Each structure stands twice: as structure tokens, then as C-alpha cells.
Amino acid sequence: MLEIRNLSFAVDEDDKQKEIIHDLNLTIEDGKFTVITGPNGSGKSTLARLIMGIEKPISGSILLDGEDITALDITERAKKGISFAFQQPVRFKGIRVKDLLCLAAGKRISVSEACAYLSEVGLCARDYIDREINSSLSGGELKRIEIATLLARKTRLSVFDEPEAGIDLWSFQNLIRIFEKMRAEIRDSAIVIISHQERILQIADEILVLADGRISEKGTPAEILPRLIGQSAPVSACQKLQ
């Protein structure tokens, strides 16, 4: 279980501190598929990065299974069992798909194991295993490889930052299928997805709506979606929720 207590985060802007996350509290329970949504600029990605330790809060605390991990760096949090899928997956010259999967698994893995992770995300393993993670890969391919690295890590908390960003419609259909499968197989672990895609919101166990750096609403898709859908824009939806 992940608990966030009174968390605040600010950035320096024009010599002033601008608060992005305000005194935020939330709990992510094990065995649940949680989707955090909200308008652009509401602090969703910042929250995901705070959970992974990529950003440091100005106050508040983060607890994983009751242990305070606020002071831990990215590496230490990764070792405690948090994994993170980037909104814009990073490219590496020279590092191949199988190298990244080995690094993710933390050991040498066999070609058949690597292939299993790639097949899981709908990539023909034979075509990809020796490919470099460079600009020759499309956005959709990178995104799926990014997800495969999380599968290889098998951590207890997986955070996905806008997995739908930058991928085409065809890849998106596959992405939904991958998440549906992950949700079906979720057991003692927890999955957090930052998204504003209705299809992803629909498969959530719980939706948290973030607006202006605070949780403004939470509930099941049945409770939350009718209020979000049909609005002209998520911004107005969230403003009305406040």
C-alpha cells in the first residue's frame, strides 16, 4: 500500500515559488488498478514523478507498506519495488531491447523470457530483441517496450505516466488490451496510471481526479465518469467538481 500524506511540491518560476501540488493526501491500495486523471497542468505527472523520487517534495511524506520512503532516492525506491513508465520513453544509442529487459529484470534473462515480455505487449520478439532503443523505433513501439520493462521488473507498485501519449490509434487499441490483462492478473501488487483516456478510466477500480494540485474527487468509474463525460473539456468538468 502506498500512502501520501500532506504532500506539497513547488517549482521556481520568475524568482517565486509556484506550488504545483498542495497538501495532497491519498492512499493506493494493493490489488487495485487506480487511474489518476485531471486536466493538463493539474499536477498528475508531477505526482507520478514524486512517487518515483524523480522530484522531491517541499513537505509531506510518502509511505510504502508503512515505511517512510520520502528521503529515499530513485534507485532505492526502485529497489523497494516501485517502477515507473515514462510519458516520453527515453532513447539510448547502442542499448538494445534485450539489454534493457535484462537491466529491468536485474539479471541475465534468457531470450525466451525476453520474448515472453515482448509478446505480452504485442511485439514480435524476433523483430525487436536486437533492435537498438534509438530513433529508429516509433513512439508506439517505444511505449510498448517501456511497458515490457515494467513487466520484466515484476514490482509491487507500477506507475504509468500517460501511457497513451504520442501513440497512434492502432497502438492504442493494443495498449488497452495490455492494461486489461494487467488488471485481470493484478494480485498483491498495485497499478497506478496517469491518464485522461476514457477507455483507460473505464477499466479502473478507482479513479482519482486531480485539479490544481489537489485530489478533488475519487470513486469508481460508475460514480466519476458520468460527471466527466459530456463536458466540453476536462478543465470545466474539474472546475465544476470543486
Partner 1 sequence: MVQLDAIQKRLIEEIADLHSVPTGAYNFRANSKLAGRNTTANIDIVSKPDGSGIDIHVKPGTKNESVHIPVVLSESGIKETVYNDFYIGEGADVVIVAGCGIDNCGSQDSEHDGIHRFYVGKNAKIKYVEKHYGSGDGRGQRILNPVTEVYQEEGSSVEMEMEQIKGVDSTERTTLAELKADARLVVKERLMTHGSQNAVSTYQVNLNGAGGTADVVSRSVARDESSQTFNARITGNAPCSGHTECDSIIMDKGRILAIPSLEANDVDAMLVHEAAIGKIAGDQLVKLMTLGLTEQEAEEQIINGFLR
Stretches 10-18, 67-75, 135-143, 207-215: which one binds partner 1 (CB under 8 A)? 67-75
CB of 78 to partner 1, least distance (A): 4
**55 near partner 1 (CB under 8 A):** no
The conformation of residue 158, written as its DSSP 8-state character, comes to E
Task: Tell me: does residue 75 bind partner 1 (CB under 8 A).
Answer: yes
Selected from 44, 98, 144, 153, the binder of partner 1 by CB under 8 A is 153
Q: What is the DSSP letter of 155?
A: -
Taking CB under 8 A as the rule, does residue 154 contact partner 1?
no
First to last CA, the chain: 27
Nearest 5°: the CA angle 31, 48, 155 is 40
When asked if residue 212 is in the footprint of partner 1 (CB under 8 A), the reply is no
Confirm if 158 and 86 have CB atoms less than 8 A apart.
no
* Shortest spacing between CB 53 and partner 1, in angstroms: 9
Where do runs of H (alpha helix) occur along 6-138? 44-52, 74-80, 97-105, 111-120, 125-128
Per-residue binding string, partner 1, 83-102, x by CB under 8 A, is xx-x-xxx-xxxxx--xx--
**Structure letter (DSSP) for residue 91:** P
**Complex with partner 1: residue 16 or 107, whichever CB lies closer:** 107
- Torsion angle in degrees (nearest 10) through CA of 101, 105, 111, 115: -60
Query: What minimum distance in Å lies between the beta carbon of 50 and partner 1?
Result: 13
Give the other-Cβ count within 10 Å of 133's Cβ: 23
Using rule CB under 8 A, residue 108 touches partner 1: no
- Asked if 120 is part of the footprint of partner 1 (rule: CB under 8 A), the reply reads no
Residues near partner 1 (CB under 8 A): 52, 54, 73-75, 78-79, 83-84, 86, 88-90, 92-96, 99-100, 103-104, 106, 149, 153
